[in-house]
Chain A
Amino acid sequence: MENSRETQQERDGVTRRAFIIQMGTAAAILNASMPVFAQAPAPAPPPTIPGKEKLIVRSPRPINLETPLKDLASEITPNDLFFVRNNYDGPEINPDQYALRIDSEVENPLTLRLDDLKRMDQVTHTITIECAGNGRSFYSPKAPGLQWERGAIGTGVWTGVRLADVIRMAKPRPTAKHVVPNGNDVPPTPQAPDFIRSHPIWKAMDPHTMLALQMNGKPVPHLHGGPVRLVVPGWIGSASIKWLTHITLADKEFDGPFMKRSYRSPRIEDPNDSYSLRSLECKSVIVNPLDGAQLAGGPVTIFGYGWAGEGTVVGVDVSADGGQSWAPAKLTGDEHRYAWRRWEFAWTPKSGQHTIMARASDSLGRVQPASRPRDPQGYRWNVIHAVRVNVA
């Protein structure tokens, strides 16, 4: 009881301070996004979010930001270019008052502070995070949801604690089959469901699954779920809960709307049934050249990334003639279990119009498709990326 009261007080402390900061942010965002008090008929300039000026604002509230493809040129996505997907916004958490509770199907329920986590064994992994809805805007007819193009993805170097180590400290009971992480984001109404998703304990115990304290060498920024976020590698981004404050070990999969309604796709064998999304698709993207590029002529290095969630990219084929012929690209980037792999392809084009395509294949036998059937909520878009260029 005393513990929980203390936690509540701490949370109130967090809340009050964060609220004031948040109000400042909210006002800044509102001001930035709505500079329309004057009668000027010109449309308002697109809003930007402080610290994320180069990103496309899909929504200022909750904050959802997409990285333009041209800004994904670096294998590691810098923090200021990393996409943001929030189902709900949340208050900033004062690191000194951060507390993580682990309870339910455990023998040793515990509360860890940020310093406790910092004292534990630290691991660093390069991991790609992609939103399940990345590419949704390419479905026709349009699927409901944020209309992401190709930039709801990024690769970070994450440092923190293995989730498995935290779970072991809590001594899970044999009945603990699922891990239910919850973050400090807040639904806008009392009736809106909390953003909670669960994953099976085997994924939680994967040594790559981590509580990240650092993103690219810096404390995880608030917009990316700091001070502590989960990173569930290879799985859709929504598994990687931000502002992690509570981990429940449970005997069953969580059954809230973000498990039962959202983040589901039709089963191939029975389209009337659906399944909860886990692994990312086998997919690739062309970062250079960009669609519509005017090239001067001479040799061009076509490059991009391939990734495959729980699979590993085994090859990326490139076509420079609209898919009539294909040749393997060279996998040039560093290889990490759960990160995208850079590839490149040397090309000396003749003058004229060309359509360049890239097609990844993975260790699970998956190959990027030329088309994709309707997905009611617009997930799983991994159709072969094609860019049209004009060579002088």
Chain B
Amino acid sequence: MWRSPAWRLLPGGAEGRRALISVPLTLGLTIGWVAAQPQAQGIPLPPGKDVELVVSRCIICHSLEMVAQQRQDLAGWQAIVDRMIQYGAPISTEERQVILEYLATSLGPQ
């Protein structure tokens, strides 16, 4: 079954020969891109000390624009992040807290 290329970055997600092509390409693009931005330059997200964790977890499934255009309070972000975890986002309990803190602070209601 076809999956969005970055899906194969998920644990256990690699499958068949398609993975052989897609992992290096996607991984290369993603890592190269993240590594090139120590100050989050070019990332469409507000700067913050934990922005790289947010980038690395969210970008597996969707573009960061999806995140950047939201403005939610903590409860709103909790609902979103918990649904993403339910849908397979590889986010540990500790990471969830860090991510929520970043989101509620940097992308809170205006």
Q: Is the CB of A141 within 8 A of B109?
A: yes
CB neighbours of B70 from chain A (8 A): 142, 144, 147
In the complex, which residues of chain B have a beta carbon less than 8 angstroms from the beta carbon of A144? Answer: 70, 72, 76, 79-80
CB of A5 to closest CB in B, whole Å: 16
- Within the complex, which residue of B25, B63, B66, B89 is in contact with A33, where a contact is CB–CB below 8 Å? B63
B21-38 interface bits toward A, Cβ cutoff 8 Å, 1 = contact, 0 = none: 110011001001100110
Chain B interface size band reads: 35 or more
The total number of A-B Cβ pairs within 8 Å is 104
Whether a CB of chain A sits under 8 angstroms from the CB of B65 is yes
Q: A57-B65, A61-B62, A192-B88 are in contact. Are A19 and B4 (CB under 8 A)?
A: no
Q: Name A188's contact: one of B33, B36, B61, B76 (CB within 8 Å).
A: B61
In Å, the complex CA distance between A89 and B66 comes to: 14
Query: How many chain A residues touch B (Cβ–Cβ < 8 Å)?
Result: 43
Surface stretch bound by B, among A37-45, A218-226, A263-271: A37-45
Chain A minimum-CB-distance residue to B41: A41
A69 CB-CB contact with B under 8 Å = no
- C-alpha spacing A193/B87, complex, angstroms: 7
Q: Does A15 contact B61, Cβ atoms closer than 8 Å?
A: no
Secondary structure of the B contact surface, majority rule: loop
Residue numbers in A under 8 Å from B71 (CB-CB) = 141-142
Cβ of A43: which chain B residues have Cβ within 8 Å of it? 41-42
Please report the C-alpha to C-alpha distance between residue A43 and residue B32 in the assembled complex, in whole angstroms: 17
Report if A191 contacts B (CB, 8 A): yes
A36 touches B37 (CB 8 A): yes
- The answer, yes or no, to whether A51 is at the interface (CB within 8 Å) is no
Is A27 part of the contact surface with B, judged by Cβ < 8 Å? yes
How does the 8 Å CB contact mask read for B2-29 relative to A, with 1 for contact and 0 for none?
1111110010010000100110011001
A144 to B18, CA, bound (A): 34
A147: which B residues are within 8 A, CB to CB? 69-70
For residue A90, CB closer than 8 A to chain B, the reply is: yes
Report how far A40 CA is from B42 CA in the complex, Å: 9
Beyond A59-B65, A189-B87, 16 additional contacts (C-beta under 8 Å) are A15-B2, A20-B21, A22-B5, A26-B5, A27-B29, A36-B36, A36-B37, A62-B62, A91-B2, A142-B71, A144-B76, A147-B69, A147-B70, A186-B1, A189-B61, A191-B86
